[in-house]
Amino acid sequence: MSTKPPASGARVFIDGEAGTTGLEIRERLAAEPAVEVASIATDARKDPDARRALMGEVDLVVLCLPDAAAIDAVGLADSLGNRAPRIVDASTAHRVAEGWVYGFPELDSAQADAIRAAKRVANPGCYPTGGIALIRPLVDAGLVPSDHPTTVNAVSGYSGGGKAMIESYEVAHTAPAFELYGLGLSHKHLPELERYSGLKQRPIFVPSVGNFRQGMLVSVPLHLDTLPGSPSAGDLQQALEAHYRGAALVRVVPAAETAKLNGRLDALALNGTDKLELYVFANDASRQAVLVARLDNLGKGAAGAAVQNIKLMLGL
């Protein structure tokens, strides 16, 4: 059921390893000599008894499942009592659930330690990763009020849409080149986006998908004169830089470097990495700014974040 154990004996079972996120996590963990990935036979992947038995043999389980199946999997793990493994859930099911720690280590100064100590960690969504990364530091710094009307716009590669969307682009070729969706304004990422951004007023969130496999841009427009004290773009830049100082995976791009981009940003530039870049674009004359987060939706937006959390939880 598994490969040769590592010296540390840390064993991880990816429940749903055949999916896009599961495969990406497995590939990353293959580069970690202190981790053994325990696999289940292909014909037993939907067998609750086989999955429960393997859960009882590992240190940590990663859930790469639809929401309902993830909830059922947590029930299987809980039935093991004191033999229950720690869990990282990559689904949406537990991101705002009681007893779960949100898996964005850069959220604040205490979050990484909370993840290290957690029994249950909910991996963030790809879109909220960008939105929260931009908004939370400004709310904490008092530059953006928690009740400020906020809009988050985003575009992602189609790999974030799951098996059906991937097939519509790569096999059937029936998908459009670009598409807005979630226009009922009730996207499933909204609860975590609102809570962990520190907002008390539900943001307007408009996602979209383009005809490219992976890559993501998340943007937050701001009218600076509507904010308390009418902050400058430099104030926003400084708040972001202060929040992420020392962060290994999050980089606030310097204003001078941003200015050289001539107002353009490639969504695919971080593909294949687990990095997250944050930008402040501004027009001083109009007193307007657009904050932008760039990431690989399969990297820091999914598998990369999961492995970051796994390593924290296992003390690697």
Give me the active site residues, please. 126
d(CA 220, CA 203): 10
Using only C-alpha atoms, the chain has a radius of gyration, in whole angstroms, of: 20
Separation CA 125–CA 122 (nearest Å): 9
Taking residue 89's Cβ as centre, other Cβ atoms within 10 Å add up to: 27
- How far is 77 from 86, CA to CA, in rounded Å? 9
Q: How far apart are CA 109 and CA 93, in angstroms?
A: 25
**Distance separating the N- and C-terminal Cα atoms of the chain:** 23
| DSSP-assigned letter for residue 55 | H
For residue 78, the SS3 value is helix
Q: Coil, strand, or helix at residue 216?
A: strand
As a whole number of angstroms, the distance between CA 90 and CA 77 comes to 15
209 in helix, strand or coil? Answer: strand
Cβ atoms of 288 and 224 within 8 Å: the answer is yes
Triad 208, 211, 213: Cα angle to 5°: 95
Instruction: Name every residue whose Cβ is closer than 8 Å to that of residue 224 and which is 6 or more positions away in sequence.
Output: 230, 231, 232, 233, 282, 287, 288, 289
How many other C-beta atoms can be found within 10 angstroms of the C-beta atom of residue 108? 15
Provide the token pair at 275: 């990095």
Give the pairing type, strands 120-122 and 276-283: unpaired
Q: Using DSSP, state whether 16 is helix, strand or coil.
A: coil
